Structure 1
């Protein structure tokens, strides 16, 4: 494993508000050989004077950064996704330390992403549901909240250390994890079918689907497995249509 693995990791900032933070993130990314920065609906000028001042020699990371409207757009093409959180989740989700979880992003030569939430609130449950694993940075319980740029710095450092250490290659060429867009297509299909058969109702669909996302994200589905699940949904669709036609 080496620094080339770091080039496949996306740092995704959701609705960043401070240009100084964005510039500082670009700088530490440059320090740690990370170069893919995605900004979801930023509330600041990523190329303005304040951001450039803090970026120092990481200005090229700022200039190459991509601005998108939604988290799914930032995650297109990714196979492994980790979200960061600084709070106790209402979800029954296991929180890991950066040191334990982040090496997972650097194995198997896959495109991966690490998501950070807005400075004022962090990621909400809906935003967290796009990730397969969750990281919380251990800190003093009297004051555990880290600045956005500081959180990115801690995680970037851990990624860089993994890339530098001569660890045994843990890649598995036969493993073909499903891409983010394949999973999203399945979740949309699942919602449509479950609404059709009356398992879901429009007013509860969102909350129920978050639970299904957590279930499947923990399974780390392969491309073949997603295709199998989509096949089941297509058969249910066909059976519903056949039943309706026979009862007209």
Structure 2
């Protein structure tokens, strides 16, 4: 699908000028699919339309969704942008290195996710991505404008179309992210039920599971196998209680 399969996802954008400028830079580099997660501004406002110039159709066709998982529905790959370090042991890559992975031919959509203008993406939102990029900037002033960040990444996507080396897997079988998310929900429910997780620590513990599985590039049949195990465990627990 190449560039045509890449979604630019903005989480809670607050500035209509930014949204309009992003539509314009997307059209500059051949990207068309804009998804807005719970936008805090009107993407069809006069300000946004004025900044979009000749890319108004991207604003008009933008998809509005309430949550990040909804924005990633149907995608098999997602890269999140972040400006801060993490303690997960996950590498923060440069756009030029990581972004070509989104446009390798899988036959399924992919997503590049950007956070809020003032605070970026939360840890809870970052865990929906498999890889992470940070745009290198001068240490004297590291903060980048949202539209500028999107513009840099769109340029890199358009210029770097050759595939990069990734783990040897059957890329056409990568599990859709919403299918993986359903597995996480089942896993969390079961682990709470058996007492491995506690409600007050479940979010942080599940982050660790997500990180582990994201590194594995799970395929559809593997998720099916893992969900089958959960259902069998659930059956065994219920059967033991009834016996």
TM-score (normalizing by structure 1):
0.93
SS class of match (2:129): coil
Alpha-carbon offset, residue 172 of structure 1 = 7.7
Task: Give distance in 1, aligned partners of 2:171 and 2:71.
Answer: 26
Q: Structure 1 unaligned runs (5+)? A: none
185, 203, 221: which one pairs with 1:206? 203
Alpha-carbon offset, residue 48 of structure 1 = 0.7
119, 122, 126: which one pairs with 1:121? 119
Task: Give distance in 1, aligned partners of 2:125 and 2:78.
Answer: 12
Where do residues 37-116 of structure 1 align in structure 2 (5 Å cutoff)? Answer: 37-107=34-104, 108-116=106-114
Aligned length: 241
TM-score (normalizing by structure 2):
0.95
Describe the superposition over 1:198-217 as per-residue Cα deviations: whole angstroms up to 9, x where unpaired: 10011111111111111111
Alpha-carbon offset, residue 181 of structure 1 = 1.2
Task: Give distance in 2, aligned partners of 1:231 and 1:219.
Answer: 18
CA RMSD of aligned residues (A): 1.8
Describe the superposition over 1:52-101 as per-residue Cα deviations: whole angstroms up to 9, x where unpaired: 11101111111000111100111100000000001112433211000111
Verify the 8 A CA contact 2:11 2:36 in the aligned structure 1. yes
Alpha-carbon offset, residue 169 of structure 1 = 11
Verify the 8 A CA contact 2:101 2:164 in the aligned structure 1. no
Q: Structure 2 unaligned runs (5+)? A: none
SS class of match (1:194): helix
Task: Give distance in 1, aligned partners of 2:121 and 2:171.
Answer: 34
SS class of match (2:215): helix
Task: Give distance in 1, aligned partners of 2:170 and 2:86.
Answer: 34
